[in-house]
Amino acid sequence: MKTANTFILLLGFLIGINSIATAQCKTFTKNDCKPRLDPYIYNGQLNSAVLNEGDIAELMLTFYSNQDYRIVVCAAPELGKIVFRLVDEKGQELFTSKDHDFTEIWDFRTKSTQQLVVEVSVPESNSGELIKSGCVSILVGFLDKQ
Protein backbone atom coordinates (compact mmCIF):
# COMPACT_ATOMS: atom_id res chain seq x y z
CA MET A 1 0.00 0.00 0.00
CA LYS A 2 2.85 2.28 0.99
CA THR A 3 4.56 1.45 -2.33
CA ALA A 4 1.46 2.23 -4.29
CA ASN A 5 1.10 5.56 -2.47
CA THR A 6 4.76 6.39 -3.17
CA PHE A 7 4.26 5.53 -6.82
CA ILE A 8 1.16 7.70 -7.08
CA LEU A 9 3.04 10.56 -5.40
CA LEU A 10 6.00 10.10 -7.75
CA LEU A 11 3.75 9.98 -10.79
CA GLY A 12 1.83 13.03 -9.57
CA PHE A 13 5.13 14.85 -9.04
CA LEU A 14 6.30 14.03 -12.59
CA ILE A 15 2.98 15.04 -14.12
CA GLY A 16 3.03 18.20 -11.99
CA ILE A 17 6.53 19.13 -13.20
CA ASN A 18 5.43 18.57 -16.80
CA SER A 19 2.33 20.75 -16.33
CA ILE A 20 4.36 23.52 -14.72
CA ALA A 21 6.90 23.41 -17.58
CA THR A 22 4.08 23.58 -20.17
CA ALA A 23 2.39 26.48 -18.37
CA GLN A 24 5.72 28.33 -18.08
CA CYS A 25 6.30 27.73 -21.79
CA LYS A 26 2.93 29.27 -22.61
CA THR A 27 3.72 32.31 -20.45
CA PHE A 28 7.15 32.62 -22.09
CA THR A 29 5.54 32.46 -25.55
CA LYS A 30 2.96 35.07 -24.66
CA ASN A 31 5.29 37.53 -22.95
CA ASP A 32 8.61 37.07 -24.74
CA CYS A 33 7.80 35.78 -28.21
CA LYS A 34 4.43 37.08 -29.36
CA PRO A 35 5.32 40.80 -29.09
CA ARG A 36 8.03 40.18 -31.70
CA LEU A 37 5.34 39.47 -34.30
CA ASP A 38 4.17 43.08 -34.21
CA PRO A 39 2.95 44.61 -36.60
CA TYR A 40 2.08 41.25 -38.17
CA ILE A 41 -1.18 39.57 -37.13
CA TYR A 42 -0.70 36.41 -35.13
CA ASN A 43 -2.29 33.44 -36.96
CA GLY A 44 -3.60 32.03 -33.68
CA GLN A 45 -1.63 28.80 -33.73
CA LEU A 46 0.22 28.12 -30.51
CA ASN A 47 3.32 26.08 -31.34
CA SER A 48 5.55 25.75 -28.33
CA ALA A 49 7.31 22.85 -26.67
CA VAL A 50 9.97 22.13 -24.10
CA LEU A 51 13.04 20.86 -25.98
CA ASN A 52 16.35 19.45 -24.77
CA GLU A 53 19.79 20.29 -26.07
CA GLY A 54 20.52 18.35 -29.26
CA ASP A 55 16.84 18.09 -30.19
CA ILE A 56 15.62 18.86 -33.69
CA ALA A 57 11.95 19.78 -33.99
CA GLU A 58 9.93 20.51 -37.06
CA LEU A 59 6.61 21.97 -37.99
CA MET A 60 4.96 21.83 -41.40
CA LEU A 61 3.11 25.00 -42.32
CA THR A 62 1.09 26.19 -45.28
CA PHE A 63 1.84 29.69 -46.50
CA TYR A 64 -0.71 31.18 -48.87
CA SER A 65 0.04 33.05 -52.08
CA ASN A 66 0.68 36.78 -52.13
CA GLN A 67 0.81 37.11 -48.37
CA ASP A 68 3.43 38.77 -46.24
CA TYR A 69 4.57 36.60 -43.37
CA ARG A 70 6.77 36.85 -40.32
CA ILE A 71 8.18 33.78 -38.60
CA VAL A 72 9.40 34.14 -35.05
CA VAL A 73 11.35 31.26 -33.55
CA CYS A 74 12.23 32.11 -30.01
CA ALA A 75 13.86 29.99 -27.36
CA ALA A 76 14.68 30.18 -23.68
CA PRO A 77 18.15 31.78 -23.31
CA GLU A 78 19.60 28.73 -21.53
CA LEU A 79 19.30 26.73 -24.78
CA GLY A 80 21.94 28.89 -26.45
CA LYS A 81 21.95 29.86 -30.12
CA ILE A 82 19.25 27.79 -31.75
CA VAL A 83 19.15 27.47 -35.52
CA PHE A 84 15.98 27.52 -37.58
CA ARG A 85 15.67 26.60 -41.23
CA LEU A 86 12.88 26.80 -43.79
CA VAL A 87 12.81 23.89 -46.18
CA ASP A 88 10.43 23.46 -49.13
CA GLU A 89 8.62 20.31 -50.28
CA LYS A 90 11.62 19.25 -52.36
CA GLY A 91 13.95 19.47 -49.37
CA GLN A 92 15.53 22.67 -50.66
CA GLU A 93 16.74 24.98 -47.91
CA LEU A 94 15.25 28.44 -48.39
CA PHE A 95 16.53 30.09 -45.25
CA THR A 96 18.76 29.32 -42.32
CA SER A 97 19.23 31.62 -39.36
CA LYS A 98 22.86 30.44 -39.23
CA ASP A 99 23.56 32.71 -42.21
CA HIS A 100 21.81 35.66 -40.56
CA ASP A 101 23.56 35.91 -37.21
CA PHE A 102 21.13 33.48 -35.59
CA THR A 103 18.21 35.84 -36.02
CA GLU A 104 14.92 34.77 -34.46
CA ILE A 105 12.79 36.59 -37.03
CA TRP A 106 12.36 36.23 -40.78
CA ASP A 107 9.98 38.31 -42.90
CA PHE A 108 9.08 37.14 -46.37
CA ARG A 109 6.42 37.17 -49.09
CA THR A 110 5.13 34.07 -50.83
CA LYS A 111 4.35 34.39 -54.53
CA SER A 112 2.49 31.09 -54.57
CA THR A 113 1.04 28.83 -51.89
CA GLN A 114 3.77 26.73 -50.33
CA GLN A 115 4.06 23.92 -47.83
CA LEU A 116 7.20 24.65 -45.89
CA VAL A 117 8.84 22.93 -42.98
CA VAL A 118 10.27 25.00 -40.17
CA GLU A 119 13.05 23.00 -38.57
CA VAL A 120 14.51 24.08 -35.24
CA SER A 121 17.82 22.69 -33.92
CA VAL A 122 18.88 23.13 -30.33
CA PRO A 123 22.68 23.06 -30.00
CA GLU A 124 24.43 20.44 -27.88
CA SER A 125 26.57 21.79 -25.09
CA ASN A 126 29.88 20.16 -24.23
CA SER A 127 29.90 21.29 -20.63
CA GLY A 128 29.07 17.84 -19.29
CA GLU A 129 26.53 19.33 -16.94
CA LEU A 130 22.93 18.23 -16.67
CA ILE A 131 21.05 18.20 -19.97
CA LYS A 132 19.68 21.66 -20.59
CA SER A 133 16.08 22.06 -21.60
CA GLY A 134 13.84 25.01 -22.27
CA CYS A 135 10.89 26.38 -24.16
CA VAL A 136 10.98 26.85 -27.93
CA SER A 137 8.13 28.60 -29.76
CA ILE A 138 7.40 28.93 -33.45
CA LEU A 139 4.95 31.72 -34.23
CA VAL A 140 3.63 32.94 -37.56
CA GLY A 141 2.09 36.30 -38.34
CA PHE A 142 0.72 37.79 -41.52
CA LEU A 143 -0.08 41.29 -42.73
CA ASP A 144 -3.72 42.24 -43.11
CA LYS A 145 -4.46 42.82 -46.79
CA GLN A 146 -7.08 45.51 -46.18
Partner 1 sequence: MKHLKFLFFLVFSALIISSCNNKKETQKKDVISFDSEKDLVHEKTVKKVFFNLPSPIEITQTILATKSTYNPELLNPVSNLSNYSSSSDLALNFGVYGADLCYCRVYDQLQSAIAYLAVIRKLTTQLQIPEDAGAETINRIEENIGNRDSIFQIISETYAEADGYLKENDRELTAALILIGGWVEGMHFAVNLQSNQNNQALINSIAEQKYSLDNLISLIEEYQDNAAIAEIYPFFEKLVLVYSNVTITRDKSVIVTDQDTKITSIDSETNIQITKEQLIEIKNLIGEIRTKIVS
Q: Please report the DSSP string for the chain in residue order.
A: -HHHHHHHHHHHHHHHHHHHHHHHHHHHIIIIIGGGGTTSEE-S--EEEEEETT-EEEEEEEE-TTEEEEEEEEE-GGG-S-EEEEE-TTS-EEEEGGGGTT-SEEEEEESS-EEEEEEEEPPPP-S-SSPPEEEEEEEEEE----
> Least distance to partner 1 from the beta carbon of 21, Å?
11
- Binding residue for partner 1 (CB under 8 A) from 17, 78, 115, 131? 115
Q: Does 128 bind partner 1 (CB under 8 A)?
A: no
Q: Which stretch binds partner 1 (CB under 8 A): 75-83, 87-95, 126-134?
A: 87-95
> Least distance to partner 1 from the beta carbon of 113, Å?
4
What residue ranges bind partner 1 (CB under 8 A)? 2-3, 6-7, 10-11, 19, 22-23, 26, 41-49, 51, 54-65, 67-68, 87-92, 94-95, 106-117, 119-120, 136, 138, 142, 144-146
